[in-house]
Structure 1
């Protein structure tokens, strides 16, 4: 399974927002500048996150994006679905309906062992992402890279200057 780079950008942007004061809105341009990303494309990802209720947007000269919910209530699956959509990774086209001995009345999405195996894998992947929150990821980053919170806040402060 391959996800778009927008998922990576969205996850890193959300993670960076966890290290800033909750009332601090960060403009798209500053979030994009942090990793030297194209602001217009990052803005599309941020808008998708806003539609999903993961971030909120404040208009105006002091506007920007901030987390709309606590990091404990945002799962990695929430972010992936906001960017990629909720469709299953495997799309069963019911190929067996065209094979020898096919029965048009059978729903091969349920009967096909290939489809069932792929659906189980998709569910396992989704469960794993649903079990990890932004707060879990934040804690892991801080455990491995303790300077990240202050480095992030300092970098955003420098970008705002």
Structure 2
């Protein structure tokens, strides 16, 4: 399974917003500059996080993004689901009922196949693990130098318009 780059970008932006605090909304341009990301693509990911309630946004020249909830209430799964969508990674299409299984009324088709069951079990474990970790947990395990570097870089951007 491979997640879209937007998941990593969304998580890093959420972490940066947590480090920057609630003082003022952070414009997309400045978040994009902090990580050297393309602004239009990043903005789409940030809007998805707003729709999910992970972030809040305010319009206008002084507008931008803030965390929508405290870091303790934002899970990694919240960010993944906001950007990737709620669908499972594995989608069983019942191919066992095609080819050799086509047209049969085999009793085993009444139950999910072993492959679908194993994939669902793995999916649930993955989702549980992501749901058990919060943005606050990331903050606690990230070296303080990372937070300081983002704060210093953002402060330098304050002198730049936009």
TM-score (norm. length: structure 2): 0.91
Alignment counterpart, residue 158 of structure 2, candidates 151, 157, 160: 160
* Equivalence map 1:93-104=2 (5 Å): 93-101=93-101, 103=104
* Equivalence map 1:110-121=2 (5 Å): 110-121=111-122
Cα-to-partner distance string for 1:33-64 (whole Å, 9 max, x where unaligned): 11111000000000000000000101111110
Unaligned runs of 5+ in 1: none
Structure 1 stretch displaced more, 150-159 or 73-82:
150-159
- Cα RMSD (Å): 1.8
Corresponding position of 2:5 = 5
Change in CA separation of 1:65 and 1:107 when aligned onto 2, cut-off 3 Å: farther
SS of equivalent residue, structure 1 residue 80: helix
Unaligned runs of 5+ in 2: none
Shift of residue 107 of structure 1?
8.6
Corresponding position of 1:140 = 141
Change in CA separation of 1:104 and 1:69 when aligned onto 2, cut-off 3 Å: farther
Change in CA separation of 1:87 and 1:159 when aligned onto 2, cut-off 3 Å: same
Change in CA separation of 1:24 and 1:78 when aligned onto 2, cut-off 3 Å: same
Corresponding position of 2:22 = 22
Shift of residue 110 of structure 1?
4.1
State the alpha-carbon separation in 2 of the partners of residues 8 and 73 from structure 1: 19
Corresponding position of 1:130 = 131
TM-score (norm. length: structure 1): 0.91
Count of aligned pairs: 158
Corresponding position of 1:35 = 35
Change in CA separation of 1:106 and 1:137 when aligned onto 2, cut-off 3 Å: farther
State the alpha-carbon separation in 2 of the partners of residues 109 and 22 from structure 1: 53
Shift of residue 148 of structure 1?
2.3
- Of structures 1 and 2, the one with the larger relative CO (CA 8 A, separation 6+) is 2
